[in-house]
Amino acid sequence: MSVLAAIAVLAVLILVHELGHFIAARSQGIYVNRFSLGFGPVIWKYQGPETEYAVRAFPLGGYVGFPDDDPDSNIPPNDPNLLRNRPILDRAIVISAGVIANLIFAYFLLVAQVGFVGIPQISKPQPGILIQQLAPEVSSVASNAGIKPGDVILAANDRQFGAAKEEIEVLRGIIKNSATKPVKLEIAREAEKLTVTVTPEAKTEGNGSIGVGLGSNVKVERHPAKSLTEALNVGSTQFQRIISMTFQGFGQLVTKPQETAGQVAGPINIVKMGAKIAQDDTASLLFFGALISINLAVINILPLPALDGGQLAFLLIEALRGEPLPNRIQDGVMQTGLMLLLGLGIFLIVKETSQLGFIQRLFQ
């Protein structure tokens, strides 16, 4: 169910994006002949007076179709309500409306997160080292020993751990240097204290590992806003922070490509991240939705072919030239850009699927 929740969040964000285009067009009287959520085979379809509405099998996509280039359309080519016959400003509003819709929706998601759930706030570190997660392998040492995420390691081989962040490296050193040797761990699990013995596996060059992710022993607390004004203000602050961090991230892809290229996430990793949040911290799904919605907006506004930003770039060139670029040039650029985006998407899917040990790990 966590995977379905993550996919549902992404589908809603795509729906919001396409609704932005649709509403911007229809509110100006511009013809829209198709509105589709998803891609692939049609599973539901409704023909309205002017627009065909459809839901397709794979929800991670969508489009708004215009009759301008539809050979079956009976609308005269010089009709002023065709998108291509509208002034540049009208077309720019329609093209940019999807991005604007995602940004507005992200802001209200953050306001809802602040108002009803609260933004996570980390408490002061306490003594011990937190087990954040276990390795996905069922046969990991920690899993076999009964260790669970959320456990706190208080001591290893009678070496007590304080609250300092450096204690994490101390524990890692003990495990690393104890390959094939038993290590006695004192663990706190809520109000209960346990003692378990683990024997780290020998990894590369004899380094020991028990298959856990470690972190400082902190508690995450949430305090919902006390008023609508506070929720709007805090939501605005969070919105600006995410926007800034998103642009910084894209900037580092340009300035430091070798360091950041490996951090680019495709659809599988995004669904995996959302599934983990849905499973471990459902309350943060609103924040996850806002984060992805902002990233979707920023990506779409980039001046790349086949994206909204690429179409806006064509409009800018048209405004400067006084006439649009020839259709063959626009079509060639858009088709090339579409092929590159599809190629990148396929590459990321193949890469992430292989890293996951195939798709079944999404359902763990």
Cite the active site residues.
18
Q: How are the residues of the chain apportioned to helix, strand and coil, as percentages rounded to the nearest 5? A: 55, 20, 25
CA distance 104 to 90: 20
DSSP character string of 312-347: HHHHHHHHHHSSPPPHHHHHHHHHHHHHHHHHHHHH
Both tokens assigned to 324: 């649009």
Q: Are 241 and 256 in contact (CB under 8 A)?
A: no
CA distance 195 to 146: 11
CA distance 195 to 218: 21
Q: Are 100 and 111 in contact (CB under 8 A)?
A: no
Helices and strands, counts by H and E, the chain: 10, 12
Residue 91's alpha-carbon distances to 52, 176, 214, 316, in angstroms, are 21, 61, 51, 11
Calculate the CA dihedral of residues 204, 207, 208, 211 and round it to 10 degrees: -50
DSSP code at position 78: T
What's CA 313's distance to the chain center, in Å? 26
Paired with 122 in beta bridges are: 220
Calculate the CA dihedral of residues 322, 326, 331, 334 and round it to 10 degrees: -40
Q: In which residue are the tokens 């301008």 written?
A: 68
HSE-up of residue 231 (Cα within 13 Å, Cβ side)? 18
